Each structure stands twice: as C-alpha cells, then as structure tokens.
A and B are shown apart, each in its own frame.
Chain A
Amino acid sequence: MHKASLEYNELVLDHYRNPRNFGTIERPTHIGSELNPLCGDEITVYFKVRGSKIENFKYEARGCALSVAAASILSERIMNYELGIREVQKITKADIEKMLGIKVGKAREGCLTLSLNTIKKTI
C-alpha cells in the first residue's frame, strides 16, 4: 500500500480528472505526437512559439493517470511561469516528481516522462 501512496496523491488525481490547458491551438507553430506502446498512453502537443518565447501551449492526452497528470502540471508550469524554450529543455523527470509530490518506480518512468519528452522533441 505504501508503494501506491508514493505514486498517487490528491494532486495527481486532481490533475488527472481536470487536466489544465487541455485542448488544441489554432495555427500552432509546432506540433508533436508520441505514443507509449506499452500502455497505450498517447499525447499530442501544440505550441505557439515566437523566437525563444512560448506564447501558448496546449495538449491532448489519453492514457493513465500519471501520464495525464504529468502533462497537466507541466502545462501549468510552462504557462504560469512563462517559461522559455531553454528553460523547458532543462526540466527533468525529478522536477515533475517534485511538482506532483510523488516518486515513481522504473516501471512507471515512461508514463511520467511521455509529455516531457514529446515537448522537448517538438520545440
């Protein structure tokens, strides 16, 4: 039971149920999609970028609670802190764990980092 409580908390479940910045952008400058064939997690990210500035970021995600929650909290971080491309490229798996207040095992790393990796590859 202690293992589950390390991976799931109220914040994760809240972001899973009510993902922030969910949706698409009209005429995005960058689009990227990724699939995690292991569990069927899927994400598409949409960016409006000017120079090194991210003007808008949205995503559509489908899959497990961890992958959706990670995408949601990343979007909140990017938009609320007005992060630029360089800062986004520096975000790590450990940062997402810190943002969500969880610690995930090896088996779930792919779920947690699917959105981050897709974002980094796209911009």
Chain B
Amino acid sequence: MFEKDFPILKRRINGRRLVYLDNASTTQKPRAVIEAISDFYQNHNANIHRGIHTLSQEATQMYEGARDKVKKFINAKHRGEIIFTSGATEAINLVAWTWGHENIHRGDEILLTEMEHHSNLVPWQILAKKKGARLKFIPIDQTGRLDLKFFSQLLTPKTKLLSLTHVSNVLGTINPVEKMIRVAHKKGALVLIDGAQAGGHIPIDVQKLGADFYVLSGHKMYGPTGVGVLYGRKEILENMPPYQSGGHMIKSVDWQNSTWNGLPWKFEAGTAAIAEVIGLGAAVDSLNSYGIERIWNTEYRISEYALRKLCKIPGIEIYAPRIGKDRIGVISFNVKGVPPHDLASILDGQGIAIRTGHHCAMPLHQRLEVESSARVSLAIYNTKVDIDVLIKGIEHAQSIFGI
C-alpha cells in the first residue's frame, strides 16, 4: 500500500516489474521528498543565514526546520546537537578528526565490533595509526550476534571509545546498544553509534540510549544522497575543535585569528547541502506519517516470510539470526554452485535488484569465511509478492547453473 508513494517502483527493468531489494544500499524516494527538493529550487532557492531578503529567510527557515524535524525524530535534547554532514561516513570522520585527535593518545584503545561497515572501521584505523592507539573488536557468535561475554573483557580502563553499529548492514542484527552504552559509560568510555542501517527502520531515541554520538545516513532513510546527520551530546560538541573551517562556522575573523560560531554551525563550514537537508526533512515527515513502529513491524513480517522461503532453497547458506526480534529485513546468503555475482546478474534480467559482494564489510566476510555474499534488504514498500518473485528468480538461476 506504500508503493504508490514511490514513483520509481513503476519502472520496468528488462521488461519486468522492478523488484527493488537493495534498500540497505539506498532506499527509493517517496514523491514528497522529490517534490520538496524541486519546490525548494523552483520557489525558495537562496543561501541560508546570510541574506536579509525574503528568499534567504525562507530558505533558512526550511533548512533549520529540517533540523528541528530530525531533532524530534531521534529525540535529541537540543537542536544544536544535530549537525548536518554529507553522510554517515563524514559524520564518523568528523568525530575521528576532532574529538579523536584531541582525546585519543598513545596506548589508548578503541573498541569496535566484527560487524562494522568500513566507514566505522577505516577512520579509526587511520586515527589509531597516527596516535599509536589500539583497535579491539567484539567478536560475533554463530548466530550472527555480538558475543557479549567478551565485551566486558575487552572493555578496559584504556578504552576511550566504543564505536559500533546499531544494526548490521550484512547480518541485519540489531545490537543491544542501550545496555552496552551503560556498561561502557561505567568504565569511562564514550560511545558512538552508527545508525546508518537503523534510521528509517527501527525507532531511535538518543536520550534513552544514552549515546554520546549517533550518526545517520539520509539516503538510507528515504532522503536524498549527500546528506547525513551527526548527533552529539552538547557538552561534548562544545569542547570539540571545529572540523572543516571557512565561511559560516565562524563568529568573527581578523587577519590572524578567528572565533567559532555556536552549535551546530561551528561544524557546518561552507554552504550546506540546503536542498538535500530540506529533502531529508521531508523524508522524516514521510516516516512519521507511516509510523516507525508500523514500518518496523511490516518489514519484520516480510523478512520472516523471506527467511522461511529462503531456508527451503536447497544449498542455501544464510548469514543472519533466524529467530528473535533483534533483527531487521537484511538477509545475506550464498546459494551453493551459483556465485553471488552471477546470481545478481541473472536476477537483474528479471527486474530484481539485489546487492552482492562484501557490502563494505570485508573483515566480516573473512570472519564468515566467504569471499562474498548476496544480500536482500527490505523497505516499507516491499511485499510478499516481491519475495515470491525473488524465490522464483533464485530457482531460475539454479536451473541455469544446472542445480
């Protein structure tokens, strides 16, 4: 019933109805988001925070209005805690290059997990190398969940930061971050949560979680590409040095010195992605109108159906928790005898879009002892019929490969 909101779902691919199951890469955009961007450029385009003229004021109001929407969406305490970035990747890099550079020293430890996306691994590798700090990893168990008995062991007085994903982009596992944050805080570590796969799929309440930093990707939650969010607790952000510098992030500048603007603008140098931020605001409106609990339940129901059907395919190996409510509609798998890349190619011939490869999680694939995998990931517009088409497609690929 949500399909009508998404114009692209009318597309035909290779003569077939598009069955889009690559939502963990990026979701499709509802009409409201597309129209918000087009409305901004057609009726309100101007730079923000600078002009006295009407358009500039309208643009500023729309841009800052989006900040209020995001603040409410993740239940932040202050609007200054919401910083717009180019994406989740930039949000993590911002923390690494500012807070990290000031607070991580030789011998310190940064605790990550085995299920991190490269974007929550590589920035910490660079920082650790530069500072002589050490990265440690909470392992995963056989069911695709974090093995928490190692957590308290790995968390030491040297741990300055715990940085982990809310939801795995490969396994679909929802991590018990609220509990983990409490434990980490007791040991004096700060916690960053990578919410790129959580945003738009499960409810997020940063105050309830107690997260110090929380990052979101706009385009993975029905918004445009090129925009993401860094949430940070006010006390921490206030003490952090700026990230990029230039226009808009300053209060005053003379030839030798500058003083910084207040939050959140201290971290938003240069002209922002104004239209994209406004588009993200529209995406949040759409999410609110669907209802995040309803989205969560709908996707869960379809993913249960998908798991049930996929399990029956002979020779399939699934890398995801199969039971329990602590997972979302992300299912990675391999079909014996059909390399994932070929599978995706054959499915594309039938209008079905899935992702294959290592999904930007090469170490996790080494841990799973597979080269690559195929991944099906759901969004609000997917139906049981989509899953039926997928299953038929996989069977067709098996028949091509003589299985």
Chain A contact residues, CB within 8 Å of chain B: 1-4, 7-8, 13, 38-42, 62-66, 107-108, 111
**A5 CB, nearest partner CB in chain B, Å:** 8
What string of 1s and 0s marks CB contacts (under 8 Å) between B328-353 and chain A?
A: 00000000000111100110111000
List residues of chain B with CB within 8 A of the CB of A64. 339-342, 345
13 A-B residue pairs with CB within 8 Å:
A1-B350, A1-B396, A4-B349, A4-B397, A8-B400, A39-B340, A40-B372, A41-B341, A64-B339, A65-B342, A107-B348, A108-B345, A111-B341
Whether the Cβ atoms of B342 and A8 lie closer than 8 Å is yes
Whether the Cβ atoms of A4 and B372 lie closer than 8 Å is no
CA distance A66 to B365 in the complex (A): 22
Residue B93 lies at the interface, judged by CB distance under 8 Å to chain A = no
**A1 CB, nearest partner CB in chain B, Å:** 6
Q: Which of A3, A65, A66, A107 contacts B401 (CB 8 A)?
A: A65
Chain B contact residues, CB within 8 Å of chain A: 14, 339-342, 345-346, 348-350, 356-358, 365, 371-372, 396-397, 400-402
Whether the Cβ atoms of A63 and B349 lie closer than 8 Å is no
Using CB atoms, name the residue of chain B closest to A9.
B400
Whether the Cβ atoms of A4 and B357 lie closer than 8 Å is no
Using CB atoms, name the residue of chain B closest to A108.
B345
List residues of chain A with CB within 8 A of the CB of B346. 4, 7-8
Q: Which of A7, A13, A40 contacts B371 (CB 8 A)?
A: A40
Whether the Cβ atoms of B345 and A7 lie closer than 8 Å is yes
**Contact (A3, B400) CB under 8 Å given A39-B357, A62-B371, A65-B342:** no
**B279 CB, nearest partner CB in chain A, Å:** 28
**B220 CB, nearest partner CB in chain A, Å:** 20
**B15 CB, nearest partner CB in chain A, Å:** 8
Q: Which of A13, A40, A62, A111 contacts B358 (CB 8 A)?
A: A40
Whether the Cβ atoms of B349 and A1 lie closer than 8 Å is yes
Whether the Cβ atoms of B341 and A3 lie closer than 8 Å is no
List residues of chain A with CB within 8 A of the CB of B358. 40
Whether the Cβ atoms of A3 and B402 lie closer than 8 Å is no
Whether the Cβ atoms of B345 and A107 lie closer than 8 Å is yes
List residues of chain A with CB within 8 A of the CB of B371. 40, 42, 62-63
CA distance A66 to B342 in the complex (A): 8
Whether the Cβ atoms of A4 and B339 lie closer than 8 Å is no
**A76 CB, nearest partner CB in chain B, Å:** 21
